[in-house]
Amino acid sequence: QMQLVESGGGVVQPGGSLRLSCAASGFLFSSRAMHWVRQAPGKGLEWVAFIRYDGSNENYVDSVKGRFTISRDNPRNTLYLQMNSLRVEDTAIYYCAKTGSSYYYDAWGQGTLVTVSS
Amino acid sequence: EIVLTQSPGTLSLSPGERATLSCRASQSVNSNSLAWYQQKLGQAPRLLIYGASSRATGIPDRFSGSGSGTDFTLTISRLEPEDFAVYYCHQYGTSLITFGQGSRLEIK
């Protein structure tokens, strides 16, 4: 059974940093592209970042480029999101998502809440 | 960036009725790379449909997807009580992935 478990969320001041983790199990992690998707309180879904199965390519939504870095450790079956220079508007639940045969998401974690506030 | 516009914003129906949700793209979606998700309050989204019309594993056949190009539809043939939720469309045919703003399906 596929499982994704995020951790690392919390409360941080504007300008601060956080590192999110997503532990994967139940599938061959090293063969799948992975994504981060966020959802601001009471709002819709927003794609944040993507990383290829082997870590050789990444992409980001414009609003986080230069501030967020997605990475992965395939031997540890873990996905990361390093978030620097955090802004109030980054406040959201952050989900990691596994891709299927294409870049739709056939498994999601439960999410981790990031709150950016002074 | 492909903008996805979902309609209606809110749909009020009764169990047993048919629901039709629309997702319109600002430009053609490559290879029908469009998915639908269901999200209930306090839960992560769940994949329903991918490739515009393929049902995900374990999804009941009352859920169906159709459409191509810029116009896509999610149909729920006979609503069950557990179907009342928010639904999102999602295009993954470009490097800049986007979601629709969501349609809320509520009990009338």
CA distance B80 to B15: 5
How do residues A13-46 score in pLDDT, each as one tens digit? 999 999 999 999 999 999 999 999 999 999 999 9
Q: How far is A49 from chain B (nearest CA, A)?
A: 9
Contact assessment for residue B64 and residue B77, using Cβ atoms and an 8 Å cutoff? yes
Which of A1, A2, A45 is the best mutation test for B, with the most CBs of B within 10 A? A45
CA distance A67 to A45: 20
Q: Tell me how far apart the terminal alpha carbons of chain A are, to the nearest angstrom.
A: 40
Q: Tell me how far apart the terminal alpha carbons of chain B are, to the nearest angstrom.
A: 35
**pLDDT at position A20:** 98
**pLDDT at position B32:** 84
How do residues B59-90 score in pLDDT, each as one tens digit? 999 999 999 999 999 999 999 999 999 999 99
User: Is B87 at the interface with chain A, CB within 8 A?
Assistant: no
pLDDT greater than 90 at residue B30: no
pLDDT greater than 90 at residue B46: yes
Integer-rounded Cα radius of gyration of chain B: 13
Q: How confident is the model at residue B102 (pLDDT cuts 50, 70, 90)?
A: very high
What percent of chain A has a predicted confidence (pLDDT) above 90?
Answer: 96
Which tokens sit at B21? 């949700």
Tell me how far apart the 2 most distant CA atoms of chain B are, in Å: 39
pLDDT greater than 90 at residue A62: yes
Q: Do A105 and B95 touch (CB under 8 A)?
A: no
**pLDDT at position B31:** 79
The residues near B13 (Cβ < 8 Å, ≥ 6 apart) are B19, B79, B105, B106, B107, B108
Distance of CA B98 to the CA centre of its chain: 13
Chain B residues touching A104 at Cβ < 8 A: 33, 35, 47, 50-51, 90, 92
The residues near B102 (Cβ < 8 Å, ≥ 6 apart) are A44, A45, B6, B9, B39, B86, B87, B88
Q: Residue B30: how many CB atoms within 10 A of its CB?
A: 12
